[in-house]
Amino acid sequence: MSKRLIIVLALAFVVGLSVAAYAEVQNVKVSGDLNMMGVVRNSFLLDDDGETVTAGVSIARVKIDADLTDNVSTCVRLLNERVFGEEADSASEIDLDLAYVTLKEMLYSPLTVIVGRQELRYGNALIIGDPDTNGALASASSGLTQLTSTNPGLTDLSARKAFDAVRAILNYDPLVLDMFWAKKDENAINTYDDVTLMGINGAYRVDKNLMTEAYYFQKVRQPDGTLLTVGVKPDVVRVLGTRGMYTGIKDMVLGLEGAYQFGTFTDNDLLYPNDTELTSGQSGRRSAWALQAIANFTPAGKKYSPSVTATFTHLSGQKDGSRKSQYTGWDAMCEDQAGGTIFNAITGASNINVTSLSGSMVPMEDVKVTLDYYNLMLDKKFLAGAQFLSGVVTGPTYTMLNKRSIGNEIDLKVAYDYTEDVQLGLNTGWFIPGSAFSKVNRKTASQIIGSMKVTF
């Protein structure tokens, strides 16, 4: 009898420990998505060599959200990005995409603190949205191939958007202050090391129709030990900007954003290869501008649900032969716009004016059709010769003329909601080079991306 009693008590003790262990977890949610893409890209180097990429792409994410108490929650998301048939380590590994803790009402009620690997996105992501941008700056660490002088790659399609950061949000409704510090890069990047990012974004809702924002962001790239010994200064990008969104006109949304970059500029012939005036290691002063205007018209209750959006984006450039002590080219920072377009994979976000017009409609239930047109112009003309078109990173070189027209792009997209959880998509695009390219770089680039995304 005593042995039975001991066994019963032991079982009760184990059950009690189990209940205590799980009592702090109020709710656990598992979600994720699978995005399968078939990609055909042709002539992204704009020449007659006939380079073509034909690949299948798999992007898989699994996310676990756990509420520990009313004010404490955690989030972990795993990510795998790979090209079909690629079994290299970078393609087969499972990466930590998100891993952060959220503490609400920390110290006092308006304060929320988020610590860990998290997504940072402000406004339309003109400045902050993707740590390596989603275009010509994108890294090859995801297992998707990188765009190089010999390979029109796929890294601009990556789903990676996370920063290793500490973030504090103060909600004084209608004013919200959002502050963060992030380590963007820890290891050596080209000849530079340790890139840190910090900033504050203040959002204030004036009334139900007007939202305003003001922000300050800073990116610092420290020289490595070798460069420090010869007196090379850090490369510092500081950004002051403001943004407004107005919805007071029926069926209209109007947006305007302007930003000014300043700080110190240190050339290393890798980050800014088009700057023919500055020698490696030479420092100067930054003075660059960005402007973006957006107008959207979506008439409510109309047949086919039509929508039209017009956008103009100006990112300043550096003029060849300008003063050595000043750099006026826009630094792409961590922008995240125009993903999936051809020009985004070719140009980079600097020294460019982009005018776009987009129209969409729903011709039948569950089917949406979108037609996008982009006109691209250089802000400052290049001297004739081989140039990195992005103006901010190493990459493919193009033979350029002393002209401003980069070209035009037309994209046609169709999305079909097969079920509530499954969406099929088709994205076709053509980029027609302009007069800034010599005849050896005037071939039209094209792409076809078919996709199936399953959300669970």
SS3 428: strand
Buried b / exposed e across 253-279, counting CB within 10 Å, b at 16+? ebbebbbebebbbbbbeebbbbbebbe
Q: Which amino acid is at 171?
A: N
Give dist(CA 170, CA 367) in Å, integer.
41
Structure tokens at 347: 């140009």
Q: Residue 413 forms beta bridges with which residues?
A: 370, 427
Give domain 105-455's CATH number out of 3.40.50.970, 3.55.50.30, 3.90.1150.10, 2.40.160.100: 2.40.160.100
Are 342 and 429 a contacting pair, CB within 8 Å?
yes
Q: Are 208 and 118 in contact (CB under 8 A)?
A: no
Please give the distance of CA 422 from its chain centroid, rounded to a whole number.
24
Q: Are 347 and 390 in contact (CB under 8 A)?
A: yes
Residues 6+ apart with CB under 8 A from 285: 262, 263, 264, 265, 325, 326, 327
- CA angle 160–166–168, rounded 5-degree value: 115
**What is the full per-residue pLDDT of the chain (456 aa) written as tens digits?**
445 544 444 444 433 433 344 436 789 999 999 999 999 999 988 987 767 888 899 999 999 999 998 899 999 999 999 888 877 655 567 899 999 999 999 988 999 999 999 999 999 999 999 987 776 555 545 557 544 444 556 888 889 999 999 999 999 999 999 999 999 876 654 445 688 999 999 999 999 999 999 999 999 987 765 555 556 678 899 999 999 999 999 999 999 999 999 998 876 554 555 554 455 556 788 999 999 999 999 999 999 999 999 999 999 998 775 556 788 889 999 999 998 999 988 888 889 999 999 999 999 999 999 999 999 999 998 888 888 776 555 567 888 899 999 999 999 999 999 999 999 999 999 999 999 999 998 999 999 999 999 999
Domain boundaries, the chain: 105-455
pTM of the predicted structure, to 2 decimals: 0.87
